[in-house]
Chain A
Amino acid sequence: MRYQSQAVAKPYFIAAIGLFVGQVLFGLIMGLQYVIGDFLFPAIPFNVARMVHTNLLIVWLLFGFMGSAYYLIPEEAETELFSPKLALLMFWVFLVAGALTIVGYLAVPYAALAKMTFNDLWPTMGREFLEQPLLTKLGIVVVALVFLFNISMTVLKGRKTSISLVLLMGLWGLAIFFLFSFYNPSNLVLDKYFWWWTVHLWVEGVWELILGALLAFVLIKVTGVDREIIEKWLYLIIAMTLVTGIVGTGHHYFWIGTPEYWQWFGSVFSALEPIPFFMMTVFAFNMVNRRRREHPNRAATLWALGTGVMAFLGAGVWGFLHTLAPVNYYTHGTQITSAHGHMSFYGAYVMVVLTMISYAMPMMRGRAANSDKAQVMEMWSFWLMTVSMVFITLFLTAAGILQVWLQRVSATPLGFMAAQDQVTLFYWLREISGLVFLVGLVLYIAHFFVGGASRKAA
Chain B
Amino acid sequence: MSQAFTKSMARNIFFGGTVFFFLLLVALTVDTMQVLPKRDHRENITPSVARGKHVWERNDCIGCHTLLGEGAYFAPELGNVYQRRGGEFIKAWMQAMPTKAPGRRQMPQFNLTPEELDDLVAFLKWSGEINTAKWPPNIEG
Task: Assess whether B96 is interfacial by the CB under 8 Å rule.
Answer: no
Known: A110-B58, A254-B135. A187 touches B140 (CB 8 A): no
Interchain nearest-CB distance for A116 vs B (Å) = 12
* Chain A nearest Cβ from B33, distance in angstroms: 8
B57 contacts A42, C-beta separation under 8 Å: no
| Number of chain A interface residues as a range | 35 or more
Is there an interface contact between B64 and A46, defined as CB atoms closer than 8 Å?
yes
A186 touches B45 (CB 8 A): yes
Residue A172, interface by CB 8 Å: no
Query: Which residues of A lie under 8 Å from residue B40 when comparing CB positions?
Result: 187-190, 257
Q: Known: A34-B74, A256-B68. Is A247-B7 also a contact (CB below 8 A)?
A: no
User: Which one of B22, B68, B130, B137 contacts A330 once the chains associate, using CB atoms below 8 Å?
Assistant: B137
Within 8 A of A (CB), among B35-75: 35-36, 39-40, 42, 45, 49-50, 53-54, 56-64, 66-75
A232 touches B58 (CB 8 A): no
A3 CB within 8 Å of chain B: no
B30 on the A face (CB < 8 A): no
Which residues in A have their C-beta under 8 angstroms from that of B68?
188, 192, 255-257
Contact A236 B106 (CB under 8 A): no
B62 near A126 (CB under 8 angstroms)? yes
User: In the complex, which residues of chain B have a beta carbon less than 8 angstroms from the beta carbon of A265?
Assistant: 28
Indicate with 1 or 0, residue by residue over A403-442, a CB within 8 angstroms of chain B CB atoms: 0000111000111110010000000000000000000000
Q: Report which residue of A114, A127, A253, A258 has the largest number of chain B beta carbons within 10 angstroms of its beta carbon.
A: A258
- CB–CB A247/B141 < 8 A: no
Q: Kindly provide the distance from the CB of B109 to the nearest chain A CB, expressed in whole angstroms.
A: 8
The answer for the CA separation of A123 and B54 in the assembled complex, in Å, is 8
- A103 lies within 8 A of chain B by Cβ: no
Please tell me if B108 contacts chain A, counting CB pairs below 8 Å.
yes
User: Assuming the A-B contacts A232-B7, A239-B14, A329-B135, are A257 and B63 also in contact, with contact meaning beta carbons closer than 8 angstroms in the complex?
Assistant: no
State the CA gap A47–B106 with chains docked (Å): 11
Q: Which residue of A lies closest to B68 (CB)?
A: A256
- CA of A255 to CA of B17, assembled, Å: 28
* Residue interface bits A94-126, CB-to-B below 8 A is 1, else 0: 000000000000000111001100011001011
Q: Which of A71-79, A217-225, A332-340, A374-382 binds B?
A: A332-340
CB distance from A55 to the nearest CB of B (A): 11
Q: Is the CB of A50 within 8 A of B63?
A: yes
Taking the complex as formed, is B114 at the interface, i.e. its CB lies under 8 A from any CB of chain A? no
Q: Is the interface of A mostly helix, strand, loop or mixed?
A: helix
- The one of B6, B36, B136 that contacts A190, using a Cβ cutoff of 8 Å: B36
Let me know if A46 and B57 touch, CB within 8 A: no
CB-based contact B140/A235 at 8 Å: no
Q: In the complex, are the beta carbons of B1 and A232 less than 8 A apart?
A: yes
B81 to chain A, nearest CB (A): 10
The answer to the question of A37 belonging to the interface, with a C-beta cut-off of 8 Å to chain B, is yes
Our pick among B28, B36, B49, B133 for the contact of A254 (Cβ within 8 Å) is: B133
Q: Is B131 an interface residue (CB 8 A)?
A: yes
Partner of B42, one of A125, A127, A187, A236: A187
State whether B108 touches A45 (Cβ < 8 A): yes
Does A231 lie within 8 Å of B60, measured CB to CB?
A: no
A186 to B13, CA, bound (A): 39
In the complex, A301 has a CB within 8 A of chain B: no
The answer to whether A259 touches B35, judged by C-beta atoms less than 8 angstroms apart, is yes
B63 adjacent to A37 (CB under 8 Å): no
Residues of A near B110 (CB, < 8 A) are 111
Evaluate whether A263 and B69 lie within 8 angstroms (CB atoms) in the complex, with A45-B108, A246-B21 already known. no
Given A235-B7, A255-B68, the answer on whether A46 and B74 have CB atoms closer than 8 Å is yes
B69 touches A41 (CB 8 A): no
User: Given A119-B58, A238-B14, A408-B138, A37–B104 Cβ distance below 8 Å?
Assistant: yes
B98 contacts partner chain A, Cβ-Cβ < 8 Å: yes
* B76 contacts A by Cβ under 8 Å: yes
Query: Are the C-beta atoms of A187 and B45 separated by less than 8 Å?
Result: yes
- When A and B form their complex, which 4 residue pairs have the shortest distance between CB atoms, in order from nearest? A47-B63, A126-B57, A37-B105, A333-B69
Q: A interface vs B, CB < 8 Å? A: 30, 33-34, 36-38, 41-42, 45-48, 50-51, 109-111, 114-115, 119-120, 123, 125-128, 131, 162, 184, 186-190, 192-193, 228-229, 231-233, 235-236, 238-239, 242-243, 246-247, 249-250, 252-260, 262-263, 265, 329-330, 332-335, 337-338, 407-409, 413-417, 420
B-side interface residues toward A, CB under 8 Å? Answer: 1, 5-7, 10-11, 13-14, 17-18, 21-22, 24-25, 28-29, 31-32, 35-36, 39-40, 42, 45, 49-50, 53-54, 56-64, 66-77, 98, 100-106, 108, 110, 127, 130-133, 135-141
